Amino acid sequence: MTSLFDGTFARGGAAAAVSDAAWFRALLEVEAALARSAAGLGLVPTTAADAVTAACAEPGRLDLATVVATAADAGNPVPPLVRVLQDAVGERDAVAVHVGATSQDVLDTAMMLLSRAAVAAIDADLSRAGEAAARLAEAHRDDLVMGRTLMQQALPTTFGLKAAGWLAGLDGARLRLAEVLATLPVQYGGAAGTLVASGGSGVAVRSALAAELGLADTAVPWHTVRLPIADLAGALGAAAGVVATVAVDVVLMAQTEVGELSESGDTRGGSSAMPHKRNPVAAISARACARRAPGLVATLFSAMEQEHERAAGAWHSEWPTLTALLTTVGSAASWLAESLSGLRIDTARMSATVAAAGEPRLAKAMTEALEARGPRVAHEETAAAVRAARESGRTLADVLAGRNDVDVDELLTAAAPDEGEAGMQVDAVLAEHRRLTEGIA
């Protein structure tokens, strides 16, 4: 049964990549690869490995309902899965099932395969969002918009530079995830990490298993040194943070009083009480999904403290937590890609806001005109003039007209909107984006 909230929080390809069915496929893929690796080293007959591979390739013919029903009794799903596989291939070929492994070897390795598939889906949506941001940056390279700091109007910038900032963040998140993906390791150490049950070929089996599955090899098991999980959690959390930052920009700029952009779509964003409402649902949903990530990341980091050779409880907490983290970051990325792909930009509204916000620029021009007196004096004189204007209800230009140490007309000319080096920075981000996407696409 689909959850009531899956439409929001289980969106995009990552959710499917970590479903229960996907977990089973990953576990079976590891068991099949392990059988083939052992056979390649002469530890089990090739015919037995072939039988295991064939059984793993058809999950629908296995008694997976029994695995689900008894997984809690075993503490994890691998022991009942092994028994189901042994029954499926028969006594003669059962020798090729779970060769020299412990449950954690199979589950951790499956978790790496699952993560790889889910991150690939996340990356695809981050890429879509990035391409949308790149189009916005290019199309609006020189379109002025009011810059805002600490939620207050600051100085003009360009919407192109804002979109380029989004793009740089999204590309950076993709790069970090790609770096982690390249190092996802195999897990194989046996019951206590000594490989004692592998007939003296354990290290070779681990290397062969890594090659079979396209994972990184390791010199020792990482049963209780959970850096691979921590690295993955950190990169996913960072990606969620980038997505949330872009999404909240969209939400704020879509406010009725601001109205500088809106999401496309005629059927989404309505209110149950107010027919006139058009909420930016995609950006809101992206933000909601991303908000769940930090808590999940924290759980995975807290689970890094694991005792001796195998942990009691901390390891177990990782399975649903990482599954949920991959799902929620994937959902956030999917929503953001939709939001940015259909943004409607109101450049006239942006320009009008910039034109109406002349006082910050006038204050900047006054500060620069008084710099000969020293930066501190210039700053204090300007701040005092701004306070006087605010307290008297007059414009800053009116206040400055009564001074004899500045020329108001010259200041107003100097206070014309100036986007500085925004365009050059947009061009640099777009050029870097093209280089990066060629390398990580």
Q: Where are the beta strands (DSSP E) in 159-270?
A: 261-263
Non-local CB neighbours of 201 within 8 Å, separated by 6+ positions: 41, 43
At what angle are helices 78-93 and 103-139 packed, to 10 degrees?
A: 120
The most distant pair of C-alpha atoms in the chain lies apart, rounded to whole Å, by 102
Check: CB of residue 12 under 8 Å from CB of residue 121.
yes
Quote the DSSP letter at residue 373.
G
Pick the catalytic residue: 264, 271, 302, 392?
A: 271
Q: How far apart are alpha carbons 345 and 162 in whole angstroms? A: 13
Distance between the two ends of the chain, CA-based, in angstroms?
A: 35
- From the centroid of its chain, how far is CA 180? 12
Pick the catalytic residue: 148, 268, 291, 310?
A: 310
Closest C-alpha to 435, from 231, 168, 85, 213: 168
How many beta carbons lie within 10 A of that of residue 92, not counting itself? 11
How many beta carbons lie within 10 A of that of residue 199, not counting itself? 16
- Give yes or no: 310 in active site: yes
Q: How far apart are alpha carbons 132 and 339 in whole angstroms? A: 9
- Give yes or no: 264 in active site: no
Q: Where does residue 428 fall: left (phi above 0), alpha (psi -120 to 50 degrees), or beta otherwise?
A: alpha
Q: What would you report as the CA-atom Rg of the chain, rounded to the nearest whole angstrom?
A: 29
Phi, psi of 219 (to 5 degrees): -80, -30
Task: Enumerate the active-site residues.
Answer: 271, 310
